[in-house]
């Protein structure tokens, strides 16, 4: 199976996906989001695949964020379309996939990367993992479900702190918060993810499908929250703070939000 910016492998009953933009720290762009949608769909439709493992290529990053250069000049309307289509095509799609997805978080999982990991059914992390939603430092908010899924996973107060500070937490703190289920050495990440996948693969796929739907149903009273996130994400693109934040990021300098 060949997909742009991905490596995909079938390992018995386990489907494995590597996001393969290592030089870009596996940053998400539209092309990669489309490829992930197609790869997940193909594996989900394969009756022999019982579990999917998703990770980033290389030791440095799961996904270090969205590709800022791709949307820095978007209008608020274009930004809302970006968030809406991305949520439908990948993040909501992954969360509701019938085949369980394990996110094996190696290195940075920031912005859209953490949002992608949170869309998977559960997460494990290597000791070098660093996770955060730094969007406020760009004058914008998370737009791929981060304002909704992070509070669900770690609680409102902790999520508020992470989102409003834009800071990162390490793997041990993520484990303490319940954001990840297990932490292991980087060299043991594949072994642990495969061991967990094999345990899941031995169970009833139809029962697991129903379990995923039942569990998700208990957390989806927040559909208006996802809609509000898309709208607010788009509104940020019409602000001077967004222009300053994205310009500073692309120019590799600290943004100046004073007096705005």
Spell out, as residue ranges, where the chain has pLDDT lower than 70.
Answer: 221-223, 259-260
Instruction: State how far the Cα of 180 lies from the Cα of 81, in Å rounded to an integer.
Output: 30
Instruction: State how far the Cα of 74 lies from the Cα of 30, in Å rounded to an integer.
Output: 14
pLDDT at 221: 65
The CATH number covering residue 180 comes to 3.90.226.10
pLDDT at 222: 62
pTM score of the predicted model: 0.93
The reply to whether 171 falls in a domain is yes
pLDDT at 66: 87
pLDDT at 69: 85
Give per-residue pLDDT as tens, 3-50. Answer: 999 999 998 999 999 999 999 999 999 999 999 999 999 999 999 999
Q: Show the CA angle centred on residue 185, arms to residues 40 and 28, nearest 5°.
A: 35
Nearest to 122 by CA among 14, 200, 47: 200
The reply to whether 57 falls in a domain is yes
48 is in which domain, residue-wise?
Answer: 6-192
CB 146 within 8 A of CB 122: no
> Is 191 annotated in the active site?
no
The continuous run of DSSP H or E covering 183 comes out as strand 182-184
pLDDT at 220: 72
The reply to whether 38 falls in a domain is yes
> Is 135 annotated in the active site?
yes
Total domain count, the chain = 1
pLDDT at 136: 96
pLDDT at 97: 97
The reply to whether 66 falls in a domain is yes
The reply to whether 157 falls in a domain is yes
Q: Show the CA angle centred on residue 61, arms to residues 58 and 63, nearest 5°.
A: 120
| Active-site residue, selected from the candidate residues 115, 176, 187, 244 | 115
pLDDT at 1: 74
pLDDT at 223: 67
Phi, psi of 113 (to 5 degrees): -70, -45
| Active-site residue, selected from the candidate residues 22, 34, 45, 135 | 135
The reply to whether 252 falls in a domain is no
The reply to whether 225 falls in a domain is no
Instruction: State how far the Cα of 162 lies from the Cα of 124, in Å rounded to an integer.
Output: 19
The reply to whether 114 falls in a domain is yes
pLDDT at 89: 97
pLDDT at 61: 97
């Amino acid at each position: 199976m060949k997909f742009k910016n991905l490596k995909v492998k079938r390992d018995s009953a386990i489907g494995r996906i590597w996001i393969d933009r290592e030089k870009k720290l596996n940053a998400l762009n539209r092309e990669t989001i489309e490829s992930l949608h197609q790869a997940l769909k193909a594996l989900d439709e394969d009756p022999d695949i019982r579990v999917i493992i998703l990770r980033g290529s290389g030791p440095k990053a799961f996904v270090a964020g969205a590709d800022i250069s791709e949307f820095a000049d978007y209008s608020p309307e274009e930004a809302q379309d970006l968030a809406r289509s991305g949520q439908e095509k990948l993040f909501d799609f992954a969360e509701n996939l019938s085949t369980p997805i394990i996110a094996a978080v190696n290195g940075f999982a920031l912005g859209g990367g953490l949002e992608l990991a949170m869309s998977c059914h559960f997460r494990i992390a290597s000791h070098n993992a660093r996770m955060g939603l730094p969007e406020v430092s760009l004058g914008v908010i998370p737009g791929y479900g981060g304002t909704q899924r992070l509070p669900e996973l770690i609680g409102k107060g902790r999520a508020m702190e992470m989102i409003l500070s834009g800071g990162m937490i390490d793997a041990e703190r993520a484990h303490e918060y319940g954001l990840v289920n297990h932490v292991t050495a980087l060299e043991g990440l594949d072994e642990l993810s495969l061991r967990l996948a094999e345990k899941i693969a031995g169970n009833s796929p139809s029962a697991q499908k129903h379990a995923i739907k039942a569990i998700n149903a208990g957390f989806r009273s927040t559909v208006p929250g996802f809609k509000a996130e898309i709208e607010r994400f788009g509104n940020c693109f019409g602000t001077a703070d967004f222009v300053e934040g994205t310009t500073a990021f692309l120019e590799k300098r600290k943004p100046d939000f004073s007096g705005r």
